[in-house]
Structure 1
Amino acid sequence: MDYPNDQAPGAPVRAGIPEHGRVPKYYAVKTQLAALLDDLGEGGLLPTERDLSERYEVARETVRQALRELLLEGRVRRAGRGTVVAGPKLAQPLALASYTEGVRRQGLRPGRTLICLDRFPCPQGLADEAGLERGEPVWHLERVLLADDERVGLESTYVAVARVPRLDTDFDPDSSFYGYLRDRLGISFGDADERLETVLATPREALLIGTPPALPMLLIHRVSRDTEGRPLERVRSLYRGDRFSFTTHLGQPLGTDDKN
């Protein structure tokens, strides 16, 4: 398929140029840098800011602004004192599947680092949202998500102690929680409600994930139930916006036709 103005699928319309045709200097440099990234390939080291400012005949601050946008978009990443071309984003499906399964499908090694596993009486807000009873004991499992040992997210899971009474002794924190429920306890997921939004990480979250606080994050809230419709878990998953994208398959809603 041919695309107008040599645009690839998903690229900004007219390469992001305003209708009045006046292009900010930093954006022109960003466009040139994008072409340079394609030439260098994944892992390629970019020239220094000084070299780039001389090459494109602009101020170093203009180069910095272009690099900042490429960094936020996940096109480049910091490596020591330099900047290198980043690899493709991880495409995680919006489905009732574990993080482990999604990462493995892309040929990467999933992992997790345990931050905390504690229990407390369920507060009213969590009870209302997850269909639990106020005051009943719940586990809070917090883990940093890894892909090939790179920190890419932070996950907090809340589940009733009555459903998983030996979570603190029988569960390996570096493994899949979904796999533990399925293989050790015989619990299967039935359905879930999920909400996705963009946020900035708190200072604590940014420190745990190892990102600048200004880096946009993708936040997913999920409330899951088992095959009998009973509440199972409430999860808050925070993913790096420069390393993740999410995919889903959409079908035609029941009761509609294709006439409109």
Structure 2
Amino acid sequence: MSSLPVEPPSVTSPGAPPATLAAVRAGVPEHGRPPKYFQVKQKIDAVLDELGQGTPLPTEREFAERFGVSRMTVRQAIRELRLEGRVRRSGRSTVAAGPKMVQPLILASYTEGVRRQGRNPGRELVVFERIAADEALAAGLQVAVGAPVFHLERVLLADDERVGLESTYLSAERFPALAAEFDPRTSLYAYLHAAGVVFADADERIETVLASPREVQLVGTTPALPMLLLNRVTRDRDGRPVECVRSLYRGDRFSFTAHLTVEEPPGSRS
């Protein structure tokens, strides 16, 4: 039985990010017949490179006539471009989206990260309540089960665009004045820093999820849009947990970067 020929892998310059590999960009399967919608998607993607942010795209009918395909094929191509963050809805139109915001995985506030990219951060308060810690929260914050905990839920904004949803939990016994003193429209990290808290380290887990119906409504997205979920426990210099945070970011508007180092094996310095 003969096998299909396999082309050798593309060679790139040292240091090139994996996303720039030619094989990834081409997206051509081994049999050499990419789906028609994918070919249209590549052509529309090239059109997007010539459009400025917020510029309306040609209509589905115009694209269909230009590329000689059905409107259904165009619709599927645009749907994928929307999931990738290349286009977005604006009223009744589909427009070219700007570049994704790139957040480094460091101990810094959302406010700082957005401002570094020339965007204006903002927040809309959803919930600011006092609850009793369940077993999971008690373990994360190292408090007794049933201890009072502040729950702060806010919609995250960038230039007034809804891009995420964040829930933060803090011990009410450690921060008793939080409800009276903190303005939920501002940076919580700035408030905690002013209160004398010095962050030292955190454990964070990242995964992809689909938003719940409630989250879809709050963030203003669609149920099919992949979301990036970050769960974090942050500690101070004494090793005491300061906060437990659940952050949900739109996958079409955010990406995250991390600087990696080699961990020395145990006993390597002995």
Q: Which one-letter code corresponds to 2:104 in the other structure?
A: P
**Partners of 2:218 and 2:21 in 1: how far apart?**
33
**Partners of 1:9 and 1:35 in 2: how far apart?**
20
Aligned partner of 2:4 in structure 1 is: none
**Quick one: percent identity of the two aligned structures?**
61
Aligned partner of 2:88 in structure 1 is: 77
Question: Within the alignment, does 1:154 sit opposite 2:154 as a pair?
Answer: no
2:140/2:241 contact within 8 Å kept: no
1:1-260 alignment to 2 at 5 Å? 3=12, 10-11=19-20, 13-14=22-23, 15-183=26-194, 185-255=195-265
**Partners of 2:51 and 2:118 in 1: how far apart?**
23
2:12/2:21 contact within 8 Å kept: no
Q: Which one-letter code corresponds to 1:10 in the other structure?
A: A
**Partners of 1:175 and 1:140 in 2: how far apart?**
16
2:141/2:171 contact within 8 Å kept: no
1:132/1:231 contact within 8 Å kept: no
**Partners of 2:66 and 2:18 in 1: how far apart?**
29
Measured after TM superposition, the shift of residue 129 of structure 1 is 3.3
**Secondary structure, counterpart of 1:40 in structure 2:** coil
1:197/1:220 contact within 8 Å kept: yes
**Secondary structure, counterpart of 1:104 in structure 2:** helix
Distance 1:8 1:136, change over 3 A: closer
**Secondary structure, counterpart of 2:114 in structure 1:** helix
Distance 1:8 1:222, change over 3 A: closer
Deviations 1:112-162 (A, max 9, x none): 000010011111122123322211100000000001111000000011001
Q: Could you tell me the TM-score, scaled by structure 2's length? A: 0.89
Q: Which one-letter code corresponds to 1:229 in the other structure?
A: G
1:112/1:144 contact within 8 Å kept: yes
1:44/1:84 contact within 8 Å kept: yes
Q: Which one-letter code corresponds to 1:182 in the other structure?
A: H
Deviations 1:77-98 (A, max 9, x none): 1111111111000001111110
**Partners of 1:124 and 1:134 in 2: how far apart?**
6
**Secondary structure, counterpart of 1:77 in structure 2:** strand
> Aligned residues, how many?
252
1:199/1:219 contact within 8 Å kept: yes
1:75/1:85 contact within 8 Å kept: yes
**Secondary structure, counterpart of 1:206 in structure 2:** helix
**Secondary structure, counterpart of 1:178 in structure 2:** helix
Q: Which one-letter code corresponds to 2:19 in the other structure?
A: G
Measured after TM superposition, the shift of residue 13 of structure 1 is 4.1
Measured after TM superposition, the shift of residue 44 of structure 1 is 2.1
Structure 2 spans left out of the alignment, 5+ residues:
1-10
Measured after TM superposition, the shift of residue 255 of structure 1 is 3.4
Q: Which one-letter code corresponds to 1:105 in the other structure?
A: R
**Secondary structure, counterpart of 2:49 in structure 1:** helix
